[in-house]
């Protein structure tokens, strides 16, 4: 595999892809079932859709493009996700820019060659970072905040051809099969882009969404639930230690929450375990069958451990102390966990298609299951949740 030389039609595929990020946040119909989106606005990439489907896309004629340098700003706490995609020849040659482990990842397919390069500074710190992409001969260069980030070149033995025809562009997703990716990554991106300077072209972009979601002016780390969102996991993906049981840890300002923080339930079983915040009573209540434990909404952190015959609850207010330890009259908690579903942000109902009710409004700054951070992007079902950021 050659790694040096001719770069994506002299870099146009990469730099043209950045034009898409000039999309605005409101659109008008174009008569094709799509909405046209104007340039210049801030765009939120985490809007609900199929996880690989672009949020916005467009097609431009290569003969109408003159500039080969573009720049934009990106802000995210999300370490992984798609930023933009571009291709020529109906997807035969393509380029993808994403984040993985917080750093830029570029993947390129050109004339049957495949290259992936990752590196540069971590960008998942919640600050605005300026990215500049340009073409210099056979090389494509990514600069981050004015400093060198990545440099990619591709050398082919084929006779260099003049690329013509159309270039497809997409923001927040790709237009080819995901199996073509050289490096696997989680495509969903909880992040924003703004202040794009995009080549010399101003064709309208298109979106299937009725209206694009806004970006919050200021954000903080966490997972935000707006009162209609949830993330559901199959509990079989979490290991269970019979001796130590199941441990769930949560942190956040519970005084600013309302609704179901989490619940888990197994199909066909009556037992439902749920943690609910009630604004009317100013209480946080853990319900486990007939057992109920109530605490004040001023709590900042909870550590809940379910064992075969024991339930332990620790709360931090402001210091982590044991609130209660009780013997369980219902021994079926662990079997419910092994066979069930865990919902973050909703009260599960009966049936696998029932996503629940009594949805959470508020920010969870920390969600851990069995001692590991829970990434909501990996949920079996997810809707209307900002997985890595909350409004500040």
Contact 135, 15 (CB under 8 A): yes
- The confidence band for 176, taking pLDDT boundaries of 50, 70 and 90, is very high
- The confidence band for 169, taking pLDDT boundaries of 50, 70 and 90, is confident
CA proximity to 346, closest of 272, 253, 262, 269 = 262
DSSP 123: -
Q: Which tokens hold the place of 14?
A: 């990469």
CA proximity to 97, closest of 197, 169, 30 = 169
Query: Is pLDDT at 125 greater than 90 in this prediction?
Result: yes
Q: Please state the φ and ψ torsions of residue 55, each to the nearest 5 degrees.
A: -75, -40
Contact 104, 123 (CB under 8 A): yes
β-pair type (283-288, 291-296): antiparallel
- The arithmetic mean of pLDDT across residues 29-38, rounded, is 70
Residues 39-87 have pLDDT tens digits of: 566 889 999 999 999 998 888 888 877 776 778 899 999 999 999 888 8
Query: Is pLDDT at 10 greater than 50 in this prediction?
Result: no
Q: What pLDDT was estimated at residue 351?
A: 64
For residue 338, give the H/E element and its range: helix 333-339
Residue by residue, what is the 3-state secondary structure of 52-113?
Answer: CCCCEEEEEEHHHCCCCEEEEEEEECCCCEEEEEEEEHHHCEEEEEEEECCEEEEEEEECCE
In DSSP notation, 269-306 reads ---EEEEEEETTTTEEEEEETTEEEEEETT--EEEEEE
- The confidence band for 354, taking pLDDT boundaries of 50, 70 and 90, is confident
Asked which of 31-35, 160-164, 260-264, 313-317 is least confident by mean pLDDT, the reply is 160-164
Domains parsed from the chain with CATH numbers: 12-215 (2.60.120.200), 223-391 (2.60.120.200)
Torsion of CA 104, 47, 43, 57, to 10 degrees: 80
CA proximity to 272, closest of 375, 213, 347 = 347
DSSP 172: S
**CA–CA distance, 215 with 196 (Å, rounded to integer):** 15
Could you tell me which residue, 164 or 344, shows the higher pLDDT?
344
Residues 182-222 have pLDDT tens digits of: 999 999 999 998 887 776 667 778 889 888 888 999 999 99
- The arithmetic mean of pLDDT across residues 126-148, rounded, is 86
Q: What is the pTM of this model?
A: 0.86
| Cβ neighbours for 355, distance < 8 A, ≥ 6 positions apart | 230, 232, 343, 346, 348, 349, 381, 383
For residue 153, give the H/E element and its range: strand 147-153
Q: What angle do CA 41, 46, 50 make, to 5 degrees?
A: 120
Lookup result for tokens 């900042």? 300
CA proximity to 308, closest of 284, 287, 338 = 338
- The confidence band for 7, taking pLDDT boundaries of 50, 70 and 90, is very low
Query: Is pLDDT at 334 greater than 60 in this prediction?
Result: yes
Contact 220, 392 (CB under 8 A): yes
Q: Please state the φ and ψ torsions of residue 244, each to the nearest 5 degrees.
A: -95, -15
**CA–CA distance, 114 with 109 (Å, rounded to integer):** 5
Please return the burial class of 50, using the count of CB atoms within 10 Å of its CB with bins 0-12, 13-18 and 19+: exposed
**CA–CA distance, 192 with 77 (Å, rounded to integer):** 10
Cα distance from N-terminal residue to C-terminal residue, the chain: 47
Q: Which tokens hold the place of 34?
A: 């799509």
CA proximity to 18, closest of 48, 39, 34, 49 = 39
């Amino acid at each position: 595999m050659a790694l040096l030389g001719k770069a994506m039609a002299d870099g146009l595929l990469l730099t043209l892809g950045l034009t898409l990020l000039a999309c605005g946040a409101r659109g008008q119909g174009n008569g094709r079932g799509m909405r046209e989106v104007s340039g210049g606005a801030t765009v939120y990439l985490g809007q609900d859709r199929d996880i690989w489907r672009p949020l916005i896309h467009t097609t431009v004629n290569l003969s109408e493009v003159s500039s080969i340098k573009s720049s934009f700003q990106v802000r995210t706490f999300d370490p992984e996700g798609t930023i933009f995609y571009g291709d020529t020849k109906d997807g035969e040659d393509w380029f993808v820019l994403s984040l993985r482990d917080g750093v830029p990842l570029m993947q390129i397919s050109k004339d049957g060659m495949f290259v992936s390069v990752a590196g540069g500074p971590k960008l998942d710190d919640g600050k605005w970072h300026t990215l500049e992409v340009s073409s210099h001969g056979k090389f494509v260069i990514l600069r981050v905040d004015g400093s060198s980030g990545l440099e990619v070149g591709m050398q082919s033995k084929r006779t260099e051809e003049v690329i013509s025809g159309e270039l497809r562009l997409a923001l927040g997703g790709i237009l080819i099969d995901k199996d073509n990716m050289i490096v696997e990554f989680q495509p969903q991106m909880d992040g924003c882009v703004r202040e794009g300077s995009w080549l010399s072209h101003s064709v309208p972009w298109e979106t299937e969404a009725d209206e694009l979601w806004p970006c919050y002016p200021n954000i903080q780390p966490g997972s935000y639930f707006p009162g209609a969102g949830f993330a559901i996991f199959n509990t079989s993906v979490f290991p269970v230690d019979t001796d130590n049981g199941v441990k769930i840890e949560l942190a956040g300002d519970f005084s600013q929450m309302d609704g179901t923080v989490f619940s888990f339930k197994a199909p066909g079983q009556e037992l439902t375990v749920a943690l609910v915040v009630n604004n009317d009573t100013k209480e946080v209540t853990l319900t486990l069958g007939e057992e109920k434990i109530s605490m004040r909404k001023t709590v900042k952190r909870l550590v809940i451990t379910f064992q075969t015959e024991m339930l332990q609850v620790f709360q931090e207010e402001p210091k982590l102390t044991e609130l209660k330890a009780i013997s369980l009259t219902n021994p079926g908690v662990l079997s419910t966990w092994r066979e069930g579903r865990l919902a973050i942000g909703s009260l599960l109902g009966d049936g696998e298609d029932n996503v629940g009710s009594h949805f959470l409004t508020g920010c969870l700054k920390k969600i851990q299951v069995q001692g590991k951070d829970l990434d909501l992007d990996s949920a079996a079902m997810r809707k209307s949740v900002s997985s890595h950021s909350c409004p500040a």
